[in-house]
A = this chain, B = another copy of it.
């Protein structure tokens, strides 16, 4: 049983205090839904959890270790944000090849694409994909790292109902394997997760 715990987190962006005395914790197998209006700091929170932002006050513990100090923490999470790490002028296949190098892990492109039924796009340029198709591929970065934490920043944006269901299924399966997921959203998706916090005051 592992726990991700945030204690009294204060986080500034520029001169502006975005996260204010935030406290919560989640356990293995749970999903936390972070709600909040535009600009309430959802993305900021996930980036702090992912160690990209390190100038926060307060503490973040995972498995009773401070994430800022734990050198192995890098391999324990995957962050999927709005930037989709795809090179527009390359084909989907070549982009997946680049990911293989980045993550140092080989996965067949077909296996990755078929999950969202995108296999026919394998030779297309990324620039010619629709927004939703790009988002689906971006989400598949999850396949490349074997982490216990998923930080998903508005992952349902651009996805249609079918693909949203596929993603929901992925999250549930991950939870069953004791994975911890944090999902942000700014609208009511009608989805039920184990825990929920709201960043609005």
Contacts and interface: CB of A to CB of B under 8 A. Distances in A.
Contacts of A128: 13-14
A188 B188 CA distance: 11
Interface stretch (A1-9, A35-43, A105-113): A35-43
B133 A38 contact: yes
Nearest to A116: B38
Interface in A124-164: 124, 128-133, 135-136, 154, 156-164
Contacts of A162: 37
16 contacts: A14-B128, A37-B162, A38-B133, A38-B135, A38-B159, A39-B133, A43-B130, A82-B131, A131-B154, A132-B186, A154-B158, A158-B186, A160-B187, A161-B186, A161-B188, A164-B187
Contacts of A156: 187
Contacts of A135: 38
A130 B161 contact: no
Given A157-B158, A158-B154, A38 B186 contact: no
Interface in A18-50: 36-39, 43
B133 A161 contact: no
A132 B199 CA distance: 15
Contact of A132 (B39, B160, B188): B39
Contacts of A13: 128
Contacts of A159: 38, 186-187
Contacts of A131: 38, 43, 82, 154
Interface in A49-89: 82
Nearest to A132: B38
A133 B36 CA distance: 13
A109 to B, nearest CB: 18
Most buried by B among A39, A154, A163: A39
